[in-house]
Amino acid sequence: MNLPAARIGDPVEAIDTPALVVDLDALERNVARMAAYAREHGMKLRPHAKTHKSAAVARLQLEAGAVGVCVQKPSEAEALAAQGVSDLYISNEVVDAAKLAQVAALAGRVRLAIAVDSALGVDRLAQALRAQGTMLDVFVEVDVGHGRCGVAPTAAGALAHQVVSHGLRFAGLQAYHGRAQHLRLPAERDSAIRHAVALARAAQASVTAAGIACPLVTGAGTGTFVHESMSGLYGELQSGSYVFMDRDYADNQATPHAPAFEHALFVKSQVMSAGTSHVVVDAGHKAHAIDSGLPRIWGHELDFVNGGDEHGILRRRAAGATLPALGETVWLVPGHCDPTVNLHDHYVVVRGGLASGRVEAVWPVDARGCMR
């Protein structure tokens, strides 16, 4: 593992580059705003830890009122459990027997839940839990428009019945619509989630018709949680990216009445080469993910042009804009926070702002690389 880019107490100028930097004041405001929204709207909040992969961030969310966190992979759950996070939901399907043995063992140490969308998955999960003598909560995932995992709404009852028949705890439905999150206009997101709600209601009816109670519908991301909250159907929100707010989310037109989230995750970079038409910073796409587009330059009228693995080219957006000088710091707002975090070993955590703050903590990215 790399050494951290700074030490506690260092001024911001001393943070080596490129570095993943958290503006702690902004992050705390984001955590508090989402927690307040959930509380005021009677929703449980189970933020997605796939965004941050960090026990320190999870702890802040739990202290603010989250009931637990979601993860996507058993190894992510293991990494956070090892750091004391004790209520975890693997909001994803696992069908591999060896992985399910790991899941069943973990269920003996923390409160655990998992999503299923196949009879084979349920059978293997039940077998693994029997072998370990452990238990967990099971959510049946319904495809509510993403076209990824999840059963058709009419099949939810049969799968819930199978869960119960194995003596497992049926906890409700997972109804997450990923593709709705980055529809740019609130009206588009509203329409996508109305459709998702109709499908989730049909799934709930299918479960009820099978004679099984459906205690909870869980889902929602940073782009749509207002719509799920207003649906009268969902009881739990899984938003993740709100904690950092990447460039791609900032490009969404804001939903009326949604709390405003601030950018709290940055890549600190330095100008390493300067020409007259452009300058080059030392943070290419090994320092920030570009799957959702290129980063925004914080506080400058400049455009980031992909310069490759280790370089970022900055050009003036308008003729009068000033290029930063050789050696100057440039703060990048990553295009997509989750995969950017996964590129780094540490967060350098700054209190007092990016202009003149100090390093208050260095947090490991505990579940970095946990993709299994």
Ligand X SMILES: Cc1ncc(COP(=O)(O)O)c(C=O)c1O
E strands of the chain, at which residues? 19-23, 44-45, 69-71, 87-90, 111-116, 137-141, 169-174, 217-219, 236-237, 265-274, 278-281, 296-297, 302-306, 312-316, 329-333, 346-351, 358-364
48 binds ligand X (CB under 6 A): yes
30, 54, 204, 238: residue in contact with ligand X (rule CB under 6 A): 238
Task: Pick the closer one to ligand X by CB: 50 or 285.
Answer: 50
Enclosing H/E stretch for 165:
helix 156-165
Q: Which residue has the tokens 């889902």?
A: 219
Residues in the interface with ligand X (CB under 6 A) total 14
Task: Pick the closer one to ligand X by CB: 61 or 239.
Answer: 239
Site stretch for ligand X (CB under 6 A), options 23-31, 201-209, 237-245, 326-334: 237-245
65, 158, 178, 342: residue in contact with ligand X (rule CB under 6 A): 178
CA distance linking residue 321 with residue 76, whole number of Å: 43
241 binds ligand X (CB under 6 A): yes
51 binds ligand X (CB under 6 A): yes
Task: Pick the closer one to ligand X by CB: 243 or 348.
Answer: 243
221 binds ligand X (CB under 6 A): yes
Task: Pick the closer one to ligand X by CB: 149 or 313.
Answer: 149
240 binds ligand X (CB under 6 A): yes
Task: Pick the closer one to ligand X by CB: 89 or 347.
Answer: 89
Smallest distance, ligand X to C-beta of residue 200, A: 14
Smallest distance, ligand X to C-beta of residue 351, A: 25
Assess contact for 145 and 198: CB atoms under 8 A: no
Site stretch for ligand X (CB under 6 A), options 95-103, 175-183, 256-264, 310-318: 175-183
User: In the window 349-368, what residues touch ligand X (CB under 6 A)?
Assistant: none
Structure tokens at 257: 């009445």
Task: Pick the closer one to ligand X by CB: 52 or 124.
Answer: 52
CA distance linking residue 210 with residue 202, whole number of Å: 13
17, 30, 102, 222: residue in contact with ligand X (rule CB under 6 A): 222
Q: Nearest to residue 178, comparing CAs of 224, 138, 139? A: 224
239, 269, 292, 340: residue in contact with ligand X (rule CB under 6 A): 239
Angle at 99 between CA 121 and CA 134, to 5 degrees: 80
CB atoms within 10 A of CB 253: 12
Handedness of CA 204, 207, 209, 213 (dihedral sign): negative
Q: How far is CA 136 from CA 14, 99, 121, 234, 353, in A?
A: 46, 15, 14, 21, 42
Task: Pick the closer one to ligand X by CB: 186 or 221.
Answer: 221
Task: Pick the closer one to ligand X by CB: 70 or 142.
Answer: 70
37, 176, 331, 363: residue in contact with ligand X (rule CB under 6 A): 176
Dihedrals phi, psi of 200, to nearest 5 degrees: -65, -35
Strand partners, 174: 141, 218
Strand partners, 20: 267
Binding site for ligand X (CB under 6 A): 48, 50-51, 70, 91, 176, 178, 181, 221-222, 238-241
